[in-house]
Structure formats: C-alpha cells, structure tokens
Chain A
Amino acid sequence: MELKKTPFHDRLVELGGRMVAFAGFHMPMQFAGIVEEHLAVRTDAGIFDVSHMGEISISGDGAADYVNKLTTNDVAALDLMQVQYTAMLNDEGGVIDDLLVYRRKFDYLLVVNAVNVERDFGWMSERAPEGVKVRNLSDETAQVAVQGPGAVEMVAAVCDDDVSGLGSFRSMGATIAGVQCLVSRTGYTGEDGLEIYTGSDKAGAVWDAIMKAGSRPVPIGLGARDSLRLEAAFRLHGSDMDETTSPLEAGLGWIVKLDNGDFFGKEVLLRQKAEGVKKRLIGLLSEAKRFPRPGYGVWSGDREVGRVTSGGFAPSLKCGIALAYVEADYAKRSTEFQIDLRGQRTDAKYVRGPFYKRPEPE
C-alpha cells in the first residue's frame, strides 16, 4: 500500500525529518534527536504534525444520545465547545479506541487514533440510528499540535483571535493566516499547549505562520511524541490497551461514567466493577541503566506478576519508566516490584499517576 502524505510532508522533509512508515503515513521519527526535541517541549515549545489522526463528525437529530451510547464518558456534561477524553468499547467491554469528543454547534467531532480510523468509522456507522449522520473527515482535515510552556504565546502571536484565554479542554474557532481553524487547549505531552485543526488544502499557510513567528516552536517527531506521552503516563492504544482490555483494567476508570445512561460494553464493566478486575495497568520507575521495554516480565519476589506494555528512557527524569499490566492483587504501593531487564531482575518503584508533572505556573 502506498503511504499517505500529510499536507506538511514536504516541509517536514525540508526540516530534516527522518521519515518512517507509521499508521499508513510517511511521518518523521525525529529531527534534531529525540532527547533534544523532548526537552524543547518541556522547556519551551515544539510543533507536531498530527494530521495522521482521524476526525469523525457525528451530527443530526439524536447525535448527542448516540455519542453518549458510543462512549464511556458523559457527553451530556459537555458545554458548547468543551472537549472530553473518553473511550469507545466493543460489546465485551474492550477498548476499540480512546478519543477526544468536541461538542460543537452543529455536530460532535470525534478525534481518534490514526491506526484505528477505519475500525472506528465502521463501528460508528453500522450502529448509527436513523437521522444520525457519521462522516469521516480524516482525509480533508490537517492537525498541528503546538506544545510546551511557550506554546500558547507563540500561537497567540500569529492568531487573529485571542486563544491565550482558552481554558483547559476548551476549544474555539480562530483565524490563523486567513485560514479558519478549530483550536483547543489539549495535548498528548503533559505540557500546556494547543491542538489546531484545519482543512488540508490550506493547512500549509497555518504551519508557515506559526513557524515564521519571532520565537517559534521546534519540530518534533514521533519518537519524542512517544517519550513525552509516556512520561505523562498517557496510554497508547495498541500498546497499553486494546479490544481485549477494559478501561477499568487500563486505569481509565475516571472516564467511565456508569451512572449516566447506557453505552456499548457497559454490562461487562458493571460486572468487572462488582467482581473486581484481574489485571491493572500501573506505572513503574527503574533507576537501572538497562531500560524497561515492551514485553519485559514484571516480578514480585519469585512470582511473575505481569508484563511491560510501554517502556523506555525518560529524558526529563533521566531514568527508566514503564507502563505494565500486573495481577490486580499486586497493583498497590506496598508491592515490591522487579522488572526483568534482559536477565537482571531489578527493583522498580510503583508510581501512581504521571511520572512527570509540569511545574505550577508562577
């Protein structure tokens, strides 16, 4: 299959991006280097081409009820232009995808993972009741993320509208370089920042305006995108959860609202809640010089209790970090964990929540 190119492809190559195949797209793995890019986002700002992400619009009479039925979080709680992190489950309670839902005036915009667009769109289309329209806007939509403590200021400098006052998980329409965009205060890095959606045909002008600003963000590849999200303990669908794991097992109970109407997979989650889950995704931190990698065994004493699903070197913390599924009985602070680092069982510390927390603004 021929790889798709995003509207920014040529610009990324020109910036020195080392291009790889990812989710059917030709995407940059890195520019200056993963560590350097990672730290740029933590200290200043980085720009990411995330046009490979999928965008699906759900509209029509009953759209709100249908999105609520598709997802685990409470869509009814959303204000106009508010954004919500949520999950879409199969009938067995497994995570088909994790996604953002934007409540807009005339539709709900669902932003999904690139590798899952076809599966998601199929699932949403097949179950749509009469009068509800499901449209896949992925090909005609470009997305740019600008992330880091300096990100909002940099975008605000080239934006006709005031995006600097945008609250967390809020969105607004805004014009950049004469192009109409949807801008939200969201991201996948654990930093402050914005995600900007616009039509693929005019997206280049938006990118150029941001990159020509006085102080401009550093281009960031998929490598640093992954290390940034892992430090924030954000789950990656396909690695840390999939259609065989429930959001309760994946530690996403906070986006599951069991008392707010019916949703696909709810029965299974109610049962899991009553009986307890068998495994749980936890965070582990290792000070060893060998780093935890996906597939490595997690031990407690003489017992293998789980397996690493995401892991590697954390550039901001300068140590190894991992997400791992372990038997639920062991998923607690008092457990002494070891990770089998290629034959060396090495102590690892249980970490609740994000490994990296951004400093409070002064």
Chain B
Amino acid sequence: MTPDDLLYSEKHEWVKVDGDIATVGITDYAQNQLGDIVYVELSPAGTKVTQMSPMGTIEAVKAVSDMHAPVTGEIVEVNDAVGADPSVIKSSPYGDGWMVKIKMEDPGQLDSLLKPEKYRELTGE
C-alpha cells in the first residue's frame, strides 16, 4: 500500500517532491487509524510553516488530530476538494486526497524524512 516514490514523516504525513515544491497528504495507514474523517481544516495559502509545526487539524468521528508540516516553507496551494468532501482522503489518500503544496525553504530537510521501507517498518506493513 505504501507507494515507493514518496517520503514519509513519523507523524504519518507523506511528501511528494517536485523541484522545490512538496505535495503533502496523510498516509493510508493514518486515515485508517483515524476512522471516518468528517472535516479537515488547513492553514491557507500564504502561511509560513516550519517542520513539525501544526498546519491543520483533522476531525474524525472519534477524535481530532493535528496535521504537521513535514518541511519548512510556505503553503502555496491548498486542496479545496478535501475541505469540501474529506471522504476523498479515504478513497485516494495518495492521489486526489492530497492536502497542501509547500514551497520548501530547505530541501535538505527531506533527508530527515523516512524512506518507504522505513515507513513500512514503522507501521508494521
């Protein structure tokens, strides 16, 4: 289930790198653990975020959890489709369920993220 072409944070965000733009979402493992996601609140485009700081919240039926920025930079785009219908996170966590695009300040931070095999280990996949 865990795609090979992505990087992962220990807090279960995934990162897809394209030049200095990082597309970020939450992993299939994370959405499955959270249960049904009812509402997602994301920091708007233009927000500066630092690695590991909260940049949004995910409201599931049972609990609310923070979503963290896996890298430092500026949010340049937010996926409005996720806000309108969070079920897309369940149906397509690595595709249409992406959440934000961050223009990275320091691509060197990517080295601190987990490779797919490490993330699989973390989640016992």
Q: How far is the CB of B82 from chain A (nearest CB, A)?
A: 13
B108 → A minimal CB distance (Å): 33
B37-78 interface mask toward A, CB cutoff 8 Å, 1 = contact, 0 = none?
A: 011010000000000000001011111100000000000000
| CA of A315 to CA of B64, assembled, Å | 15
- One of B32, B35, B39 near A289 (C-beta < 8 A): B39
Tell me which residues across on chain B come within 8 A of A299, comparing CB atoms.
Answer: none
Contact partners of B63 in chain A: CB under 8 A: 293, 312
Answer yes or no: A33 CB below 8 A from chain B CBs.
yes
| B35 in contact with A313 (CB, 8 Å) | no
Query: Given A223-B35, A290-B39, A291-B38, are A34 and B61 also a contact pair (CB < 8 Å)?
Result: yes
In the complex, the chain B residue whose C-beta lies closest to that of A341 is: B64
Q: Say yes or no: B57 contacts A342, CB within 8 Å.
A: yes
Q: B41 near A289 (CB under 8 angstroms)?
A: yes
Query: In the complex, how many residues of chain B place their beta carbon closer than 8 angstroms to a beta carbon of chain A?
Result: 14
A29 to B63, CA, bound (A): 13
Q: How far is the CB of B11 from chain A (nearest CB, A)?
A: 18
Most chain A beta carbons < 10 A, residue from B32, B39, B57, B90: B39
Partner of A291, one of B32, B35, B59, B90: B59
Residue pair A312, B35 in contact (C-beta under 8 Å):
no
Q: Indicate if A226 sits at the interface (CB-CB under 8 A).
A: yes
Q: Is the CB of B39 within 8 A of A312?
A: no
Q: Are B36 and A34 in contact (CB under 8 A)?
A: yes
A290 (CB) vs chain B CBs: closest residue: B59
| CB within 8 Å for A227 and B61 given contacts A33-B35, A33-B36 | yes
Contact in complex: B41, A223 (CB < 8 Å): no
Q: Which of A35, A38, A342 has the most CB of B within 10 A?
A: A35
| In contact, B64 and A35 (Cβ under 8 angstroms) | no
Q: Is residue A68 within 8 Å, beta carbon to beta carbon, of the partner chain?
A: no
Residues of B within 8 A of A86 (CB): none
Distance of A127 Cα from B63 Cα, bound (Å): 40
Is the C-beta of A30 less than 8 angstroms from some C-beta in chain B? yes
Q: Could you tell me if A291 and B64 are in contact, using CB atoms closer than 8 angstroms? A: yes
A61, B55: Cα distance in complex, Å: 65
Which residues of A are found within 8 Å of B35, using beta-carbon distances? 29-30, 33-34, 223
Contact of B38 among A36, A223, A293, A313 (CB under 8 A): A313
In the assembled complex, which residues on chain A have CB atoms less than 8 Å from the CB atom of B36? 33-36
Interface residues of A in 223-255 (CB under 8 A from B): 223, 226-227
B38 partner residues in chain A, CB cutoff 8 A: 35, 291, 313
Residue from the list A18, A312, A342 in contact with B61, Cβ < 8 A: A312
A342 close to B62 (CB less than 8 A): no
B61 touches A290 (CB 8 A): no
Bound Cα distance A94, B113 (Å): 50
Distance of A290 Cα from B62 Cα, bound (Å): 12
Residue of B nearest to A35 (CB): B36
Question: With A and B bound together, what is the CA distance between A72 and B48 in angstroms?
Answer: 58
Q: Are A342 and B64 also in contact (CB < 8 A) when A35-B36, A289-B39, A289-B41 are?
A: yes
**A residues in contact with B90, CB < 8 Å:** 33
List of A residues within 8 angstroms of B41 by Cβ: 289-290
**For residues 9 through 50 of chain B, which have their beta carbon under 8 Å from a beta carbon of chain A?**
32, 35-36, 38-39, 41
Which residues of A lie under 8 Å from residue B39 when comparing CB positions? 289-291
A34-B36 Cα distance, complex, nearest whole Å: 6
Residue of A nearest to B36 (CB): A35
Docked-complex contact A34 and B59, CB < 8 angstroms: no
Which residues in A have their C-beta under 8 angstroms from that of B59?
Answer: 289-291, 313
Give me 7 other A-B pairs in contact (C-beta within 8 A), A35-B61, A290-B57 excluded: A223-B61, A223-B62, A227-B61, A289-B39, A291-B38, A293-B63, A312-B62
Interface of B toward A, CB cutoff 8 Å: 32, 35-36, 38-39, 41, 57, 59-64, 90
CB<8 Å pairs between A and B, sample of 11: A18-B32, A34-B61, A34-B62, A223-B35, A289-B41, A291-B59, A293-B63, A293-B64, A312-B63, A315-B61, A342-B57
In the complex, the 5 A-B pairs of residues with the closest C-beta atoms, listed nearest first? A35-B36, A34-B61, A313-B61, A289-B39, A313-B38
